[in-house]
């Protein structure tokens, strides 16, 4: 006798996506793919793991994600690799490697892995939809990328989403600001939260990101980034704000918004959903990273993009509106019930699917009653019944599964007319 095995479960902080929830995922991804196509983006798929240097250099060794949250492992060849904690560094690594013609506009859908403390809306494997544009620092592209995300949320029916925006300046003006902030924090070191009291000097910008009351209090009276950016960066930022205003995209300035990765320069932004709990209410975020290509060994190339979490998008949708998304029709057209055991059902299914219909069947030669139960549960509009009588007459019986009055709604069709009859009935 085999030993009892306790059933395995998905690892902590991860989740399976199966029906009916997976139909919502299909909707969200298809909608994003369609929008990306309309905005001129091509799909990019790159490995889920990279040399650890891609992330350490890209997102910054001092970022929380690189320091505490990455899944790092040595492979059998002794290489130190990491599972991608986000999509941008890998896409830029692919850009540096393949040197596509610029501006290069790529979109992606990807899992991302972060060893965080799991809670509602925060997972160790989450999934992102995102875009990146490389090869231009035109503020028009900032406007386009931000607007695309804004329109995407609207097309998902989300109404309570706010856009927060900031400019982090370029290397030089940001560098000067960091020194100013460092000396200010030095004077207030003992007022910072426990964590930042120890590490503020490594990366002072992270203190601006801290949500603890003590850090918020100290930084509120300190120097703020937008007051210290150079004229060029100011002009760039003003052009972005003016473009957004021209399109009716409402942005509110948030001078604390420095985001969690070191690659950001100039425009940074985040979308927050008021329907979600404050701690995990960012449904998307992004910004410029004009130095990232060089940091990964490529030519100087400007870039900008955003990523949004599919789980949080769907949590927001559910909190705002409990109707499922039906942008893609994911209901079955027909269910074939066959009690003859002959090939007739197999042939019928093939014909109907070939005509573009969504069709399923029961297996294992079950009774008519049990097959009808499955047909009812399947959500299909119509059942196509083939029993010995229908087989002998060269016909099928068609029943509307949404009607309670079979007598009036039942149809008979000759085998050769099934596709036409079904197509006709489905349009009624
Ligand atoms: P991020 O803000 O770290 O940015 O993540 C983007 C989005 O992914 C967040 O706004 C959130 O919706 C979702 N997300 C992040 N972590 C989790 C988690 N643990 N559980 C569930 N959802 C999560 C980036 O990743 C950048 N690569 C965005 C970007 C693209 N910047 C420029 N281009």
In short, whether 169's Cβ falls inside 6 Å of ligand 1 is no
> What is the layout of strands, in order, in the sheet containing 359-361?
359-361, 334-338, 382-386, 395-400, 411-414
Closest CA to 303 of 48, 126, 90, 114: 90
Closest protein CA for atom 25 of ligand 1:
86
Quote the ligand 1 centre to 285 CA distance (angstroms).
Answer: 6
In short, whether 85's Cβ falls inside 6 Å of ligand 1 is no
pLDDT at 380: 96
pLDDT at 197: 86
Quote the ligand 1 centre to 368 CA distance (angstroms).
Answer: 50
Q: How far apart are the first and last CA of the chain?
A: 57
The beta-carbon contacts of 192-195 under 8 Å, at least 24 apart in sequence, are 192/218
pLDDT at 210: 87
pLDDT in tens, 241-290: 999 999 999 999 999 998 889 899 999 999 999 999 888 999 999 999 99
Closest protein CA for atom 15 of ligand 1:
309
Quote the ligand 1 centre to 126 CA distance (angstroms).
Answer: 9
Closest protein CA for atom 21 of ligand 1:
122
For the purposes of burial, counting CB atoms within 10 Å of the CB of 38, is it exposed (0-12), middle (13-18) or buried (19 or more)?
Answer: exposed
Backbone φ and ψ for 73, nearest 5 degrees, come out as -150, 155
In short, whether 128's Cβ falls inside 6 Å of ligand 1 is yes
CB 312 within 8 A of CB 24: no
The dihedral region occupied by 267, where left means phi > 0, alpha psi between -120 and 50, and beta the remainder, is beta
pLDDT at 81: 98
Closest protein CA for atom 20 of ligand 1:
122
Which of the listed residues 66, 69, 126 should we mutate to test ligand 1's pocket, taking the one with most ligand atoms within 8 A of CB?
Answer: 126
Distance CA 92, CA 99 (A): 10
pLDDT at 406: 67
Q: Are strands 104-113 and 42-43 parallel, antiparallel or unpaired?
A: parallel
Distance CA 325, CA 26 (A): 10
Write the CA distances from 310 to 30, 401, 416, integer angstroms: 12, 34, 45
In ligand 1, which atom is closest to the CA atom of 85? 25
As averages over each run of 10 residues, the pLDDT of the chain (428 residues) reads 87 96 96 98 98 94 89 97 98 98 98 96 97 98 98 97 96 92 92 87 86 91 93 97 98 92 95 92 97 97 98 97 88 95 94 97 93 95 96 95 79 94 92
In DSSP terms, 307 is beta-bridged to: 130, 285
In ligand 1, which atom is closest to the CA atom of 87? 27
The whole-model pTM stands at: 0.94
Task: Name every residue whose Cβ is closer than 8 Å to that of residue 56 and which is 6 or more positions away in sequence.
Answer: 66
Q: What is the chain's alpha carbon radius of gyration, rounded to the nearest angstrom?
A: 28
pLDDT in tens, 41-86: 999 999 999 999 999 999 988 788 998 999 999 999 999 999 999 9
Q: How many CB atoms lie within 10 A of CB 287?
A: 28
Question: Quick check: helix, strand or coil at residue 34?
Answer: helix
For the purposes of burial, counting CB atoms within 10 Å of the CB of 371, is it exposed (0-12), middle (13-18) or buried (19 or more)?
Answer: buried
């Amino acid at each position: 006798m085999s030993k009892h095995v306790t059933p395995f479960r998905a690892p902590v902080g991860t989740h399976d996506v199966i029906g009916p929830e997976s139909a919502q995922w299909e909707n969200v991804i298809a909608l994003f793919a369609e929008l990306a196509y309309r905005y001129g983006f091509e799909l990019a798929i790159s490995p889920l793991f990279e040399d650890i240097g891609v992330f350490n250099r890209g997102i910054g060794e001092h970022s929380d994600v690189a320091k505490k949250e990455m899944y790092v492992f040595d492979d059998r060849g002794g290489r130190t690799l990491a599972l991608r904690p986000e999509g941008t560094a890998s896409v830029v690594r692919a850009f540096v490697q393949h040197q596509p013609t610029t501006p290069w506009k790529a979109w992606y859908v990807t899992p991302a892995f972060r060893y965080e403390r799991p809670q509602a809306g925060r997972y160790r494997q989450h999934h992102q939809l995102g875009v990146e544009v490389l090869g231009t620092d035109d503020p028009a592209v900032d406007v386009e990328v931000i607007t695309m995300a804004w329109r995407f949320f609207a097309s998902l029916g989300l109404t309570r989403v706010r856009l927060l925006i900031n400019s982090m300046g370029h290397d030089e003006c940001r560098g000067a600001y960091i020194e100013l902030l460092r000396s200010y924090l030095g004077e207030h070191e003992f007022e910072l939260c426990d964590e930042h009291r120890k590490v503020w000097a490594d990366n002072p910008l992270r203190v601006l990101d801290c949500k603890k009351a003590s850090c918020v209090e100290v930084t509120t009276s300190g120097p703020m980034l937008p007051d210290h950016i150079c004229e060029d960066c100011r002009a760039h930022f003003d052009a972005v704000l003016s473009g957004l205003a021209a399109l009716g995209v409402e942005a509110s300035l948030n001078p604390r918004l420095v985001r969690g990765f070191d690659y950001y320069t100039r425009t940074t932004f985040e979308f927050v959903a008021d329907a979600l709990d404050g701690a995990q209410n960012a449904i998307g975020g992004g910004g410029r990273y004009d130095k990232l290509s060089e940091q990964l060994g490529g030519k100087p190339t400007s870039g900008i993009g955003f990523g949004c979490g599919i789980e949080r998008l769907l949590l927001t949708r559910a909190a705002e509106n409990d109707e499922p998304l039906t942008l893609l029709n994911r209901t079955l057209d027909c269910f074939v019930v066959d009690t003859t055991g002959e090939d007739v059902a197999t042939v019928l299914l093939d014909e109907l699917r070939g005509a573009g219909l969504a069709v399923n069947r029961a297996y294992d030669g079950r009774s008519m009653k049990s097959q009808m139960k499955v047909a009812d549960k399947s959500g299909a509009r119509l059942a196509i019944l083939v029993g010995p009588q229908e087989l002998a007459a060269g016909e099928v019986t068609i029943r509307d599964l949404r009607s309670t009055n079979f007598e009036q709604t039942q149809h008979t069709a000759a085998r050769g007319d099934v596709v036409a009859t079904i197509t006709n009935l489905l349009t009624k």
